[in-house]
């Protein structure tokens, strides 16, 4: 009886494999294209920098986690029999393994680094601002006044992060951000292109009846 149940479960999973593979891949590609080419650009243009930074800090960890999970699911559900079938297609294995590796690098390393530096750059010393002789501890200072002061003064130097005459400390933070952000962007872009390339490999095997 136990062997029959195991056989039935294996048979059911085998029948589900094509659907799981297609759904994993389609979601991976769609999510990557939307986040990379649309959502980030629209948010950057529409939101103030502080709001954009806060949003990206929340969005990108979720995005990179989804990217890693979906890339792994696409590899694990490879047709016709899962990962063992990849030994017959080194090209597909290389593409899918590359996608998993790049997603892992962004999720575990470059994504968190970029977010940390971005927050440090935008919000460093944000509460060091003063409104005349009043501070944030003054009960007569309204929340609206504090938010206005926050928008006017976002760094310890009392200048925007991209001002020409920022301090040496801010320039170092900017260089660090540029380095980490460039790595994260390029890893993500290569992963999206790898997903797109795999689509051209997968398409000839899809049969429409």
**Residue linked to tokens 């460093």:** 124
Report how far residue 83's alpha carbon sits from residue 175's, in angstroms, rounded to the nearest whole number: 41
- pLDDT for 173 equals 85
83 in Cβ contact with 33 (< 8 Å): no
Question: Mean pLDDT for each consecutive 10-residue tract of the chain (209 residues)?
Answer: 59 82 98 97 91 90 98 96 93 98 98 88 51 50 53 50 67 89 97 98 87
Q: Residue 36 contacts by C-beta under 8 Å, 6 or more apart in sequence?
A: 188, 189, 192
Q: 178: cis peptide before it, omega within 30°?
A: no
What tokens does 8 get? 């039935």
22 in Cβ contact with 208 (< 8 Å): no
What tokens does 47 get? 């939101």
């Amino acid at each position: 009886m136990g062997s029959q149940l195991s056989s039935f479960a294996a048979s059911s999973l085998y029948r589900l494999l094509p659907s799981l593979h297609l759904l994993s891949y389609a979601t991976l590609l769609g999510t990557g294209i939307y986040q990379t080419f649309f959502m980030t650009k629209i948010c950057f243009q529409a939101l103030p920098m502080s709001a954009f930074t806060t949003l990206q800090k929340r969005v990108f960890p979720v995005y990179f986690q989804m990217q890693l999970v979906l890339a792994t699911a696409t590899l694990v559900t490879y047709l016709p029999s899962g990962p063992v079938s990849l030994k017959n297609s080194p090209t597909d294995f290389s593409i899918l393994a590359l996608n998993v590796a790049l997603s892992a690098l962004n999720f575990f390393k470059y994504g968190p680094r970029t977010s940390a530096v971005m927050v440090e750059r935008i919000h460093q010393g944000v509460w060091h601002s003063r409104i005349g002789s009043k501070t944030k501890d003054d009960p007569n200072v309204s929340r609206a006044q504090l938010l206005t002061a926050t928008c006017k003064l976002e760094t310890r130097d009392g200048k925007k992060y991209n001002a020409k005459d920022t301090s040496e400390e801010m320039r170092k933070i900017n260089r660090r951000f540029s380095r980490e952000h460039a790595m994260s962007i390029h890893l993500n872009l290569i992963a999206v292109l790898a997903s797109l390339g795999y689509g051209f490999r997968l398409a000839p095997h899809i049969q429409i009846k």
